[in-house]
Homo-oligomer: A and B are copies of this chain.
Amino acid sequence: VNVLVVSAHPVTESYTNHVRDRAVAALRARGHEVRVTDLYADGFEARLSLAERLGHHDGPAGRTVVAGYAADLRWARALVLVYPTWWSGPPAIVKGWIDRVWVEGVAYTLPEGTTRVRGNLRNVRRLVVVSSHGSSWWVNAVEGQVGRLLVMRAMRVLCHPLARRRWLAIYDMDRATDADRARFVARVERAVVRL
């Protein structure tokens, strides 16, 4: 199965990247075809540009910068996002990947004469998010987990109608022990290969 893993953390040796590497290794050990996008390593530009905004309805043809990212998205049968939760949502660089790559002609179409978006990522049959929360405080402050809603509802509706979703999170990272962290990695390894 084709699996696209998209990760983001500014620190190369971060726990986020460690979890990603273990997830990728687990997927490859099962024989899956895995493409890995590390947004920070790529120097991915988070800001939707003026040109992109003006060419909003032109489809991906003119967007050479994001064309490769869009091709990966259309190729994937499973999508795995790995990022730290900041401000109860994905880091700006991940939001930028969504703003810039999940565009009309890639993630959805807007058929002529309608105002209702049609999902274009029927190839994606599984959506997994792996995220860490720095402190349990955020969870208390922001009931409902904003980032979870974004990915699990807004993105999900553009995928295959029967696409399954899985949300894997480790909380209170500042107080997590090595054992807690190792347990979470094992949980991710088990969950991610269930395609």
Interface of A toward B, CB cutoff 8 Å: 9-11, 40, 46-50, 52-54, 86-93, 95-96, 98-100, 102, 115-117, 135-138, 141-144, 146-147, 149-150, 153-155, 157, 172, 174-175
Q: Assess whether B50 is in contact with A10, with CB atoms less than 8 Å apart.
A: yes
Bound CA span A98–B10, Å: 16
Known: A86-B99, A95-B87. A157 touches B174 (CB 8 A): no
Q: Assess whether A46 is in contact with B49, with CB atoms less than 8 Å apart.
A: no
CB distance from A107 to the nearest CB of B (A): 10
Q: Assess whether A91 is in contact with B154, with CB atoms less than 8 Å apart.
A: no
Q: Assess whether B46 is in contact with A115, with CB atoms less than 8 Å apart.
A: no
Bound CA span A59–B154, Å: 35
Q: Assess whether B138 is in contact with A146, with CB atoms less than 8 Å apart.
A: no
Q: Assess whether A49 is in contact with B91, with CB atoms less than 8 Å apart.
A: no
Q: Assess whether B154 is in contact with A115, with CB atoms less than 8 Å apart.
A: no
Bound CA span A98–B46, Å: 14
Q: Assess whether A153 is in contact with B149, with CB atoms less than 8 Å apart.
A: no
Contact of A88 among B9, B115, B150, B172 (CB under 8 A): B150
Contact of A154 among B48, B146, B174 (CB under 8 A): B146
Known: A137-B115, A150-B142, A153-B141. A89 touches B93 (CB 8 A): no
Chain B residues near A175 (CB-CB < 8 A): 115
